[in-house]
């Protein structure tokens, strides 16, 4: 599967010093969005779907927030620091909530275990970018 993000980031005229941290954050956000979307779908296919309502809800919220965060972080031209910080904070909060909810179901459902891992990785990548931002 082609992976164009590194080439696009290298080709961009704006080259911030923390480009590798930015790339990892973008990739983690999109990976988490897909994991959450797939986890919600897998939850809907489970026999006891009613027990997974909150998981589905947090999956969908997290997927939307991660996708938006990935797109915002990918825009390298003159980011507004306060908005970037708020977006990263929202993504970390969504990932932490979704990861905690999926962890509750991880022993019974492998898709929840995988999703919780993706959420932890995304929150960590967002935190690393947030900490790398100039003060």
Question: What's the pLDDT tens digit per position in 5-45?
Answer: 877 777 776 777 888 999 999 999 999 999 999 999 999 99
Contact status, residue 74 vs residue 26, Cβ threshold 8 Å = yes
Closest to 105 in 3D by CA, of 62, 49, 64: 49
* pLDDT reported for residue 11: 72
Question: What's the pLDDT tens digit per position in 58-104?
Answer: 999 999 999 999 999 999 888 899 999 999 999 999 999 999 999 99
Q: Does domain 18-132 bear CATH number 1.20.1270.360?
A: yes
Q: How many CB atoms lie within 10 A of CB 37?
A: 18
Contact status, residue 44 vs residue 133, Cβ threshold 8 Å = no
Per-residue confidence at 118, pLDDT binned at 50, 70, 90?
A: very high
Per-residue confidence at 2, pLDDT binned at 50, 70, 90?
A: low
Domain chopping of the chain, boundaries: 18-132
d(CA 49, CA 42): 9
Strand, coil or helix: what is 63? helix
């Amino acid at each position: 599967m082609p992976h164009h993000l590194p080439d696009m980031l290298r080709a961009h005229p704006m080259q911030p010093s923390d480009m590798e941290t930015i790339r990892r954050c973008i990739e983690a956000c999109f990976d988490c969005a897909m994991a959450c979307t797939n986890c919600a779908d897998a939850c809907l296919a489970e026999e006891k779907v009613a027990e997974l309502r909150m998981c589905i809800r947090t999956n969908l919220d997290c997927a939307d927030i991660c996708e938006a965060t990935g797109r915002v972080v990918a825009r390298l031209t003159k980011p507004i620091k306060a908005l970037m910080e708020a977006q990263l904070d929202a993504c970390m909060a969504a990932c932490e909530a979704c990861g905690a909810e999926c962890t509750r179901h991880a022993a019974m459902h492998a898709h929840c275990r995988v999703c919780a891992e993706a959420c932890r990785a995304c929150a960590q990548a967002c935190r690393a970018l947030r900490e790398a931002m100039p003060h």
